[in-house]
Each structure stands twice: as structure tokens, then as C-alpha cells.
Amino acid sequence: MGRPFRNFVLFVVLFAAWLLMSGHYTPLLIGLGIASCALVTWLADRIGGTDEEGLPLHMMSRLPAYLVWLVKEIIVSNIATGRLILGGRARPVMFTTKATQASAGGLVTYANSITLTPGTVTIEVEGADGDNPHLLVHALNASFAADVESGEMDRRVTALEGGGGA
């Protein structure tokens, strides 16, 4: 897919997000929204932000299913974290977990997904340039560490980026 198509997709996504968050649909504000989204799209193109890594269109068809799964995990983990904290049973642990993503974008998606899930935080990404990437993760409890170490999220992010898995 060429640059013009990628720029068009970026503009549409930005403008849709702008419309959803604005809540005001007067001609002046819509015109300003179009102008600002066009400017951001042009700037992103100028800095090379609409290439395959900056705008991974190949992931878009698999993204909704992953986001539904991630939101479910966030809700379940949020409830578990609340129970853990209110019950006074937090016993923090730090551990490393292996990552199987093939791209930097996939690795960042995995690290951010861990951090978005309550009870776990990705502290450091190690070996991102090499053959053996792994993450240093802080968890409120060993059960949260076991959830990450089960590899389910890793498999789903790898599948999201097109590398098979779940």
C-alpha cells in the first residue's frame, strides 16, 4: 500500500477520533478539525511516521478482537487487584518474561498491554535488538506474575502482529 493510501487512512482515523471526542459539530469546529487532522497527517508523513512500522495497517483487521480480549483482561484484573489490596494480601514480585514478538511495535504492544492490566507494570524491555527479547515486570502478587508467565498475552500479541499464535 502506497503512501497516499496510508496518509488517507491516518487522516480518517484521526478525524474520526476527533469527531468522537469533540462532541461539537458546528461548521467552524468541523473545519478546524479537518485542518488540524490534515496538518498532523502531513507532519507524520514528513517525519516518516506513516511507514509500515509507524502505521501497521496489516494489524488492523486483527485489532478489534485483541482489544475486546484486552478490555476483558483489564476488567478481571482490576477486580482481582481491588480484592488483593483491600484484603491486604499484596506481596509484590519482580520477574522476567520472554517475548516472542518479531517487531519493535509488537514488543511495545506487549509491554504496554502488561502495564495496562492492573496489578502488573513493565519496568524494562531488554534485548529488543537481539534474538532473545524479554521484559522485566513488577506484579503485586505471584498470581499476577503467573498470569503473565502463562504466555497467553504474549501469544495474542504475536498473533496480532501476524506471527501466528492465538
pLDDT one-digit tens code per residue, 43-85:
999 998 888 777 777 778 888 999 999 999 999 999 999 999 9
| Residue ranges in the chain whose pLDDT is less than 70 | 1, 163-166
Q: What is the pLDDT of residue 52?
A: 74
Q: What is the pLDDT of residue 164?
A: 59
CB within 8 A of 75, min separation 6: which ones? none
Look-up: residue for cell 478481571?
76
CB within 8 A of 89, min separation 6: which ones? 141
Q: What is the pLDDT of residue 35?
A: 97
| Entry pTM | 0.77
Q: What is the pLDDT of residue 163?
A: 65
Q: What is the pLDDT of residue 1?
A: 63
Q: What is the pLDDT of residue 55?
A: 73
Q: Are strands 93-98 and 120-126 parallel, antiparallel or unpaired?
A: unpaired
